[in-house]
Amino acid sequence: MYVYDEHDRQMAAERVAQFRDQTERALAGELAEDEFLPLRLQNGLYVQRLAPMLRICVPYGMMRSDQLRRLARITRDYDKGYAHFTTRQNVQLNWPALEDVPDILAELAEVEMHANQTSGNCIRNTTTDQFSGVQSDEIADPRPYCEIIRQWSTFHPEFAFLPRKFKVAVNASEHTDRAAIQVHDIGLQMVRNEAGELGFRVHVGGGLGRTPMVGPVIREFLPEMDLLTYLEAVLRVYNRYGRRDNKFKARIKILVKALTPEGFAEKVEAEWQHIKDSPTRLTPEAVQRIQAYFTEPDYANLDNATDLLASQRFEHREFDQWLTHNVDTHKKPGYAIVSLTMKKTGTPPGDVSDKQLEQIAELADEFSFGEIRVTHQQNVVLADVRQDRLLELWQAITPMGFGTANLNTLTDVICCPGGDYCALANAKSIPVAEAIQRQFDDLDYLYDLGNIDLNISGCMNACGHHHVGNIGVLGVDKKGQEFYQISLGGSSHHDASIGKILGPSFARDEMPQVISKIIDVYVDKRTEEETFLDTYRRVGIDPFKERVYA
Amino acid sequence: MPNVISQDGSIREDNWVVVPRPAEGESLDIPADQPALIPADLWLAGYEHFTGRQDIGVWFDSHDEPEILEGHVNELPVIAVNFPKFSDGRGYSIGRLLRERFGYVNELRAIGDVLLDQLQFMKRCGFDAYVLRADKDITKAQKCLNFFSQGYQAATDTDVPLFRRRAS
């Protein structure tokens, strides 16, 4: 994992001092509210329904155990003793006091953390696949490139006041996309060209929110060393020509659509010709220097523990289920990737207490070289667990509430904080998630249904990624009443698509029944090997409509 | 007379006047006794008349294209860029293009909704003179220009990004 050097440390400290000064000037009335707004947003601070909310950056989802412990302490000292894992691999605090935020940022900086650019109209945290570096089918480890992008985008002087927020995601797996890159402003798919050289296929203009779109490819192959100059060209074209007259039309996707992907690509290409050989062009030494932080941990030389696991599976049926659903194949023999689910029914998806943060830190130290990854599905990954210790780990996490064996099933809901916390929300989202989790509490039935992405957002801003849920739920406000609109057929993976709206919305208490009817249609219509999405794509939306609105 | 902040945070007075774009059918109202900044496209339209004059500079609005002055920038003593609202970031790109692409070497002035917390970005994007909005405390400019001792990226102020400095 990346470790700060004296330059990073210095800039982190200077940033805290700057925000302290800005906060003092704001509290003294020297900065008007609208003038302080982008400054605090670029330090992660929202003013929310109940209190300020602080969004802390977890670069591409990676955290060390000492950082988790510091977060736990901060939630105790400055908040109500819990935190929330977000859908962009970050962490949020829901109740900090405005005047404490500079102190919180100072405490974070001590453990090489920050809240830079986690909000505001700037380049946000770059996200990636939570299985980076430990899966066998990746082109290369994407994390060094995420770190290179992090450094380039941090306090970039030209791009601090973009028309709107800007999100970059990188994916390196050939067969899966856990980073949802096609619904980002820039999605980078790592590829090799015919000569075997490393590079990126560049998608631009994907996104959710009010006008959901799958990002078109504007360049099939961008050589590795050209990464930053090309990003700079894309950002410059966007900064100059993106719409600023209407907030709802200000994302880069609107510009790409207006110019057409080809027209946009031409503009970027023309800009890039001027700067592609500038000093911003990466060097092999610079890339290698960052790669050196992401080398393999000190793995033991092991064989796969196939026989041991088989007998343990036989003895413990629930362990067997957990192993099947929450544990993935590791590139190293004898190791496994474990997903800790933060989706225990009755707990808001992604919420963790200070104690749980410390428990996760301990698990990381004990089982996974002291590191964890946060996923955009709001779970936590221990990426390097020895197979012969999986049973021990499972026994440890079950009482902690992290062992619910529902990864990627219907009840592994992606859910924004919604109207319970968020000032932007039109409706609550957490109670809907919980009602659906209660309706589908039979694990065997869930397994029979297979992988289904159920994504819930409390408003158009789509933090719960509802457009790309196989089943998406959007909270809407109708004359002061909370209603929920359903869409079907979305996907955030390689076959990315935006869901189609089913029809008129429903009251909250109808939701579990409605979801049941949708699932019933799938069960009736599916062929043996079809997932929910496959069936939907084959039969279309009409059978679902007929059943739900019958 | 505006107070102008320099890149080092020092403050000086000068008497450059920003001449607004005239309404349709009207002509430019250039003062006789003061140096003036006129809309860049109008300077170009009156090129024969204006070029070489040390008392005439130009200003760009944030949606203007600095490309129109390519090849002419160093005929101008001052170029200003207007930030109509501090949150409009187009002026930063204009600054970098004027300096880095078109090689402009004379004064580059930020005008309009210029606030303290944006000065650091303007400085890195090539601006070396700043006319702070009148209600802001000009004595804090120096501090706000210098919160950071370095940056990660190459920009107008340095063509050596941190990854190249680390390597050397």
Report the C-alpha gap between A201 and A259 in whole angstroms.
20
Q: Across A387-458, where does the E strand assignment appear?
A: 414-415, 454-457
Residue A412 confidence (pLDDT) above 80: yes
CB-based contact (8 Å) between A162 and chain B?
yes
Q: What is the CATH number of the domain that holds A278?
A: 3.30.413.10
Same domain, A166 and A213: yes
Q: Which residue of B has its CA nearest to A151?
A: B152
Mean pLDDT for all residues in chain A: 95
Report the C-alpha gap between A75 and A548 in whole angstroms.
43
pLDDT-based confidence at A420, cuts 50/70/90?
confident
Nearest to A56 by CA among A47, A67, A65: A67
Contact state of A283 with B160 under an 8 Å Cβ cutoff = no
Mutate one of B81, B120, B132, B162 to test the A interface: name it (highest A CB count within 10 A).
B162
CB-based contact (8 Å) between A161 and chain B?
yes
Instruction: Measure CB to CB from residue B93 to each of A30, A240, A289 and give the nearest one.
Output: A240
Contact state of B92 with A240 under an 8 Å Cβ cutoff = no
pLDDT at residue A48, as a whole number: 67
> Is A116 a member of any domain?
no
Q: Shortest Cα distance from B61 to chain A (angstroms)?
A: 12
Contact state of A35 with B150 under an 8 Å Cβ cutoff = no
Q: Of A367, A397, A427, which residue constitutes the final position of a domain? A: A397
Mutate one of A158, A235, A275, A278 to test the B interface: name it (highest B CB count within 10 A).
A158
Chain B residues close to A19, C-beta within 8 Å: none
CB-based contact (8 Å) between B93 and chain A?
yes
> Is A500 a member of any domain?
yes
> Is A283 a member of any domain?
yes
Residue A345 confidence (pLDDT) above 90: no
Same domain, A169 and A279: yes
Contact state of A11 with B150 under an 8 Å Cβ cutoff = yes
Instruction: Measure CB to CB from residue B92 to each of A39, A154, A157 and give the nearest one.
Output: A157
CB-based contact (8 Å) between A424 and chain B?
no
Report the C-alpha gap between A109 and A99 in whole angstroms.
17
Q: Of A267, A293, A319, which residue constitutes the final position of a domain? A: A293
CB-based contact (8 Å) between B74 and chain A?
no
pLDDT, tens only, A152-200: 999 999 999 999 999 999 999 989 999 999 999 999 999 999 999 999 9
pLDDT-based confidence at A20, cuts 50/70/90?
very high
CB-based contact (8 Å) between B168 and chain A?
no
> Is A490 a member of any domain?
yes
pLDDT-based confidence at A49, cuts 50/70/90?
low
Same domain, A139 and A279: yes
Q: Of A293, A327, A358, which residue constitutes the final position of a domain? A: A293
Domains in chain B: how many in total?
Answer: 1
Residue-number span of the structural domain to which B115 is assigned: 3-167
Contact B99, B107 (CB under 8 A): no
> Is A301 a member of any domain?
no
Same domain, A314 and A281: no
Q: What is the DSSP letter of B69?
A: G
**Residues sharing a CB contact under 8 Å with residue B167, sequence separation 6 or more, in sequence order:** A283, A285, A286, A289
Same domain, A452 and A475: yes
Work out the average pLDDT over A210-220: 95
Contact A129, B127 (CB under 8 A): no
Query: Which residues does residue A386 pair with via DSSP β-bridges, in sequence order?
Result: A335
pLDDT-based confidence at B1, cuts 50/70/90?
low
pLDDT at residue A348, as a whole number: 86
Same domain, A154 and A99: no
pLDDT at residue A538, as a whole number: 97
Work out the average pLDDT over A516-522: 97
pLDDT at residue A346, as a whole number: 83
pLDDT at residue A480, as a whole number: 87
Count of H helices and E strands in chain A? 18, 21
pLDDT, tens only, A357-378: 999 999 999 999 999 999 988 9
pLDDT-based confidence at A349, cuts 50/70/90?
confident
Report the C-alpha gap between A53 and A96 in whole angstroms.
7
pLDDT, tens only, B41-88: 999 999 999 999 999 999 999 999 999 999 999 999 999 999 999 999
Q: Shortest Cα distance from B82 to chain A (angstroms)?
A: 14
CB-based contact (8 Å) between A476 and chain B?
no
Same domain, A289 and A159: yes
Chain A residues close to B160, C-beta within 8 Å: 279
Residue-number span of the structural domain to which A373 is assigned: 306-397
Q: Shortest Cα distance from A494 to chain B (angstroms)?
A: 32
Higher pLDDT, A513 or A209: A513
Contact state of A155 with B154 under an 8 Å Cβ cutoff = no
Q: Which residue of A has its CA nearest to B96?
A: A158
Chain B residues close to A21, C-beta within 8 Å: 143, 147
Instruction: Measure CB to CB from residue A161 to each of B88, B148, B163 and give the nearest one.
Output: B88
Chain B residues close to A38, C-beta within 8 Å: 87
Residue A389 confidence (pLDDT) above 90: yes
Residue A325 confidence (pLDDT) above 80: yes
CB-based contact (8 Å) between B135 and chain A?
no
Q: Which of A79-88, A329-338, A502-511, B97-106 has the lowest mean pLDDT?
A: A79-88
Q: Shortest Cα distance from A251 to chain B (angstroms)?
A: 14
Same domain, A384 and A458: no
Same domain, A168 and A237: yes
Share of chain A above pLDDT 90, in %: 90
Chain B residues close to A239, C-beta within 8 Å: 89-90, 92-93
Locate B27 and state its tokens: 């002509």
Task: Give me the DSSP letters along A50-90.
Answer: SSEEEEEB-GGGEEEHHHHHHHHHHHHHHSSSEEEE-TTS-
Task: Tally C-beta pairs within 8 A across A and B.
Answer: 106
Same domain, A173 and A230: yes
Domains in chain A: how many in total?
Answer: 4
Query: Which residues does residue A63 pair with via DSSP β-bridges, in sequence order?
Result: A372
CB-based contact (8 Å) between A495 and chain B?
no
- Environment class of residue A477 by beta-carbon count within 10 Å: exposed (0-12), middle (13-18) or buried (19+)? middle
pLDDT at residue A50, as a whole number: 62
> Is A123 a member of any domain?
no
> Is A128 a member of any domain?
no
Instruction: Measure CB to CB from residue B161 to each of A162, A239, A280 and give the nearest one.
Output: A280
Pairing state of beta strands A82-85 and A45-47?
A: unpaired
Same domain, A155 and A286: yes
pLDDT-based confidence at B130, cuts 50/70/90?
very high
Instruction: Measure CB to CB from residue B147 to each of A5, A17, A244 and give the nearest one.
Output: A17
Chain B residues close to A286, C-beta within 8 Å: 163-164, 166-167
Same domain, A278 and A390: no
Residues 22-61 of A with CB under 8 A from B: 22, 30-31, 35, 38-39
